[in-house]
Structure 1
Amino acid sequence: MKLYGLKNGVNPRRVRIFLAEKRISIPIEEFDMESAGHKTPAFLARNPLGTLPVLELDDGTLIAESVAICRYFEEMVPEPPLFGRSALERAQVEMWNRRMELELLLPVIDVFVHTHPFWIGKRRQIAEWGAVRRDQVVERLRWLDGELEGRDFIGIDRYNVADITAQVALLTARGALKLAIPDDRPHLARWWANVSSRPTARA
């Protein structure tokens, strides 16, 4: 079994944090954005879309997409449950993880792709769209701050995959985009201090 990842990639980091929370250790082959090893014919034979992460099982079966990989390991190693324990919790985690993807992670990625110098000449950049998405990120941080009032985690009362998704989104926003949590977002700041201090946050 081997996981193909991207050292600073958002979605590969989601899987690495998930595995660390599960205390699962598997070989990881890391690519980097500059060399673009995941765009070579050899890797495209594994995943024609050229996206990461990709999990290769011992029998050669390939699983792409971060949530699909996380769900596989949730079934293989149920504890601690990161998708919820009961039917209700699983539905709540699914809802909140999807919200974190659509409302926070994807806008953050769009800002990165459309405004960061790294992507000049690599992707078509539309600065106006990047600016629109940046405003959306700021607004969604306000919304998430309200949702976290009186809560330690997103959706349910334990750390879960929705927290991981929001965590990597904010990590990218703070690092690559210099989008800090505003001072008037105390609940979000408290949540961030909590999740970013977990040992697995460095995975």
Structure 2
Amino acid sequence: MPTAEPFETHTERYDQWFEDHDDAYRSELAALRQLVSEAGRGLAVGVGTGRFAAPLGVEVGLDPARAPLERARERGVEVTRGVAEHLPFRDGAFETVLVVTTVCFVDDIPRMLAEADRVLSASGSLVVGYVDRESPLGRVYQEHKEDNPFYREATFVTTDELREELAAAGFTDTEFVQTIYRPLGEVDGPEPVEEGYGDGSFVAVRARR
């Protein structure tokens, strides 16, 4: 079971990050918009307060923490409490499964990917957004994990590791984009969104079978 307590206790602090780092947040949204389909029904796994699901038009959100779900509901997301490894939805229910800054909190990535595959339609896409462990921002988060209530229990992944997990789960058709090239404190205005990975700290991938 993922650790939900920090998100229950520090919901306001979590949500405030997006206000304090608005340019970085909007850059991440821009990267995800290139990959998230507007067609069909979408599910956000680890929806948090709905900061990504709501503006991206993803209708349904799931999270193990109750307090953030209330914020997501206020932003117009249909919310359900649960975990990524046991999605309470029928097979083929969604055209998109969105997983943003959540992979590092998942107990069992193969199980999460299997569940995402199960609830996706035959033409559906899995979109994962994350901070690469080997990126400059990923290194900062790793170095200061003990000082951050959210990342203390997190296990960050590299893009190569995630690619291997996706391939093992049958997601062999992948497209990557990246953004956030400077330290967060130096981001002043939108960061460019570029194809591929290896330069930007925030990476997003659209994966299909």
TM-score, length of structure 1 as denominator length:
0.27
Higher alpha-carbon Rg: 1
Higher share in helix: 1
Higher share in strand: 2
TM-score, length of structure 2 as denominator length:
0.26
